């Protein structure tokens, strides 16, 4: 059954002024239409920003615990609909049922978390140098905020931008990626039913080059939060900062796991395979490089190949790994596989589209492992965004960290080791915003900061936890001698 979605602007579900729509399809069965959406225009985007601006003052002046109560109720509504949202996410984006369910639960938890954080919002009291002076700070919302989100975590990422923005009193406009926007729009259904004031949150679907550009450059927008590709993210950053807006960008990754000679090789292979092939490798924190000590290199290659070959591929409601989200994403992955072989890497397993009746229509690719990869190969330097792992051999720990850092990105990194000194050095020396010990590069806690170094981020503001609140608030210092 095909769903039909409208934009949500100023508390009402509306069609685009252009009366044009677009469709999404199931990546495991591309002939099946999942939903229809509004192909919005600049005028639609401007209307949404104007609605947010008109409501900004009222929403900012709403007591924070009252804002929190709305977020809490929205979270409860999402929880009641978890099964249906999980199915929608699986059909539209291609994740397995378990992965989709975990992502929906993450969105629910984020709404609950920031609902409770509203009770702690405020400023701080300081000691004044002179008599009869009260010295304190007041935390205020930044203002109207534009949110641009990607397709690979289509409910979790909108949730971790929306929830702290609304909790702190900012009115927002969201432009979700057109590949899989359905679950993001379901967030707005929950907020609407929870009693969110008209105009406090608005969502407009359509191409980022039109809708997204209009909202980030609108004069009434005060802050921009973007997650997506590096190329687009840098353009967003430049446009927004040129206008003096506060900007937060989270971009790509080329995430390594260093495997020490002291590591349990079977455990290391499980950790790396989970990080590399989970969510079909379509995560900015996915492990795409295993940097392995020469003493355990051959054993590790055999073990990680066995892990890859044990993965069952198919539609997300039944199998271990689903399809890539679109034909273009699949083609991009296959192109990188071809480049890796031409560069001289050894294809150990995978490398193509699986054969069989259930794979005839979907955008499937095999979990792929390359060995004999040099760190200057494109497969070791560029983000692939598919289930492709490059295995790189190093002589010692120092070479391992050097290789880990020798990329333009710095989002997530891990080490598998039984040596405490190596683990402590790795945390200090790796150039990444997330460092993990004996764990996969993917998977994030919602109450701690998330963000990258180098080209993985604007390196301005972090997301999630208290850092998420920091981006959406600004401090005012008060000297009271009344």
Q: Please identify every residue annotated as catalytic.
A: 284
- Quick one: tokens of 51? 């609605």
The closest of 379, 162, 362, 396 to 280, measured between CA atoms, is 362
- Residue 188 near residue 14 (C-beta atoms within 8 A): no
The Cα–Cα gap between 132 and 152 comes to 55
315: left (phi over 0), alpha (psi -120 to 50) or beta: beta
Strand ranges across the sheet with 346-349: 346-349, 368-371, 388-394, 287-293, 255-259, 412-416, 434-437
- Residue 49 near residue 220 (C-beta atoms within 8 A): yes
Q: 3-state secondary structure string, 434-456? A: EEEECCCCCCCCCCCCECCEECC
The closest of 297, 272, 298 to 414, measured between CA atoms, is 272
The number of residues making up the chain comes to 482
The single residue listed with the structure tokens 């070791």 is: 380
- Quick one: tokens of 313? 């591929």
Strand partners, 453: 410
The helix/strand/coil state of 86 is: helix
């Amino acid at each position: 059954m095909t769903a039909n979605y409208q934009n949500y602007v100023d508390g009402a579900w509306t069609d685009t002024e252009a009366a044009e729509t677009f469709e999404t399809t199931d990546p495991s069965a591309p002939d099946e239409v999942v939903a229809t959406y509004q192909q919005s225009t600049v005028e639609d985007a401007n209307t949404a920003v104007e609605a947010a601006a008109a409501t900004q003052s009222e929403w900012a002046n709403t007591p924070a615990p009252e804002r929190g109560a709305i977020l809490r109720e929205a979270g409860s509504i999402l929880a009641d609909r978890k099964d249906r949202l999980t199915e929608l996410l699986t059909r539209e984006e291609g994740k397995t049922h378990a992965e989709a369910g975990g992502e929906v639960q993450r969105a629910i938890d984020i709404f609950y978390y920031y609902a409770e954080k509203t009770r702690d919002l405020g400023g701080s009291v300081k000691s004044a140098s002179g008599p009869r002076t009260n010295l304190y700070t007041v935390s205020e919302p930044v203002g109207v905020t534009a949110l641009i989100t990607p397709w690979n975590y289509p409910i979790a990422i909108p949730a971790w931008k929306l929830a702290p923005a609304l909790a702190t009193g900012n009115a927002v406009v969201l432009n979700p990626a057109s590949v899989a926007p359905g679950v993001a729009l379901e967030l707005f259904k929950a907020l609407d039913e929870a009693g969110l004031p008209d105009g406090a949150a608005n969502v407009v679907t359509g191409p980022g080059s039109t809708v997204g550009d209009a909202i980030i450059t609108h004069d009434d927008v005060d802050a921009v939060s973007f997650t997506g590709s590096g190329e687009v993210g840098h353009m967003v950053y430049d446009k927004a900062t040129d206008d003096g807006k506060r900007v937060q960008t989270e971009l790509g990754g080329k995430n390594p796991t260093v495997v020490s000679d002291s590591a349990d090789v079977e455990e290391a292979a499980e950790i790396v395979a989970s990080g590399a092939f989970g969510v079909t490798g379509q995560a900015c924190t996915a492990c795409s490089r295993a940097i392995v000590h020469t003493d355990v290199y051959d054993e590790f290659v055999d073990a990680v190949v066995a892990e890859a070959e044990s993965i069952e591929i198919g539609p997300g409601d039944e199998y271990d790994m689903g399809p890539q989200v679109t034909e273009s994403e699949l083609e991009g992955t296959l192109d990188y596989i071809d480049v890796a072989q031409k560069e001289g890497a050894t294809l150990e397993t995978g490398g193509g589209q699986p054969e069989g009746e259930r794979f005839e229509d979907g955008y499937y690719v095999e979990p792929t492992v390359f060995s004999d990869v040099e760190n200057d190969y494109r497969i070791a330097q560029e983000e692939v965004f598919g289930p492709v792992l490059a295995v790189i051999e190093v002589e010692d720990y120092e070479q391992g960290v050097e290789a880990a850092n020798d990329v333009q990105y710095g989002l997530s990194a891990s080490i598998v080791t039984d040596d405490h000194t190596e683990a402590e050095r790795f945390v200090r020396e790796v150039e990444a915003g997330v460092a993990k010990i004996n764990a996969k590069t993917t998977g994030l806690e919602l109450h701690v900061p998330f963000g990258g170094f180098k080209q993985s981020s604007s390196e301005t503001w972090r997301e999630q936890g208290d850092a998420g609140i920091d981006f959406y608030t600004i401090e005012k210092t008060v000297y009271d001698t009344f």
